[in-house]
Amino acid sequence: MCQTIVLSSKESVVISQCMDCKMLTIWHQNILLTFTPAQFRAFKSYTAKLNIEESLFPFPDGEERLILHTPYHDIRFTFTLEEWEDFKIALNEAVYMQNIYQMIY
C-alpha cells in the first residue's frame, strides 16, 4: 500500500506522492492523473509553456475555458481561468515540496 504525502492542495486540486514507489497523483474534481517523477516534470513543463490566448475557447454556458490537450487526441481537459491558475499554483507548490522531501529523505 502506498504511503502518500500531500505535496499541494489548492482549491479543487490535490497533488500527492507515494514515498515508496514515488508515483505522483493529481486529483482535480473528477480527473485523476498518475505520473512517474519524470512524467510529472514533463507534464509541468508542458503546462508552463501553454499559450493561454491560443487555448481559450467559449463554451455553451458562456464562459471561456482553457483546453489542455493530451497525447490522446480524444482526451482533453478544460479549466476556467481561475481553475487554471489554481492548477498551476498547485503544480509549482508540488515541485517545491517534492524538492524539500528529497532533501529530507
Domain boundaries, the chain: 4-38+46-104
For 32, the 3-state DSSP assignment is: strand
Give the pLDDT confidence of 18-34 residue by residue, as tens digits: 989 999 999 999 989 99
Give the pLDDT confidence of 74-95 residue by residue, as tens digits: 999 999 999 999 999 999 999 9
Q: What global pTM score does this model have?
A: 0.88
Q: Which of 17, 76, 24 is nearest to 50 (CA)?
A: 76
